[in-house]
Amino acid sequence: MKRSKLKTYADILKALTPRGSMKPTHIMRKANINHNMLQESLDFLIKQDMVEARTVEKQRVVYSITRRGILVFKCFKKLEQQPLSCLLQ
């Protein structure tokens, strides 16, 4: 079964949440996605201010989740646990 983009974004945010900064290969392993999908998703998440990229050690790029990303991830988790609760309020 193919994973939705929304689920992919949530998996990337989940991979980044408990850690500081991560290299792309570590995110790929934790989120179980390929390099192309990771780059496309990271570009979107950066534009939405949910993830930030930093260059360290000359040309190595690492990624970390922003405060906004943490809030959005919490909403994803809440929707997964109680999908209809937001409709009932």
Residue, of 57 and 51, whose pLDDT is higher:
51
Q: How does DSSP classify residue 20?
A: S
What is the reported pTM? 0.84
CA distance 50 to 15: 13
> What is the tens place of the pLDDT at every residue in 71-81?
999 988 888 77
The domains located in the chain, with CATH, are 5-88 (1.10.10.10)
Kindly report the number of other CB atoms within 10 A of residue 72's CB atom: 19
**What are the backbone dihedrals phi and psi of residue 55, each rounded to the nearest 5 degrees, phi first?**
-95, 130
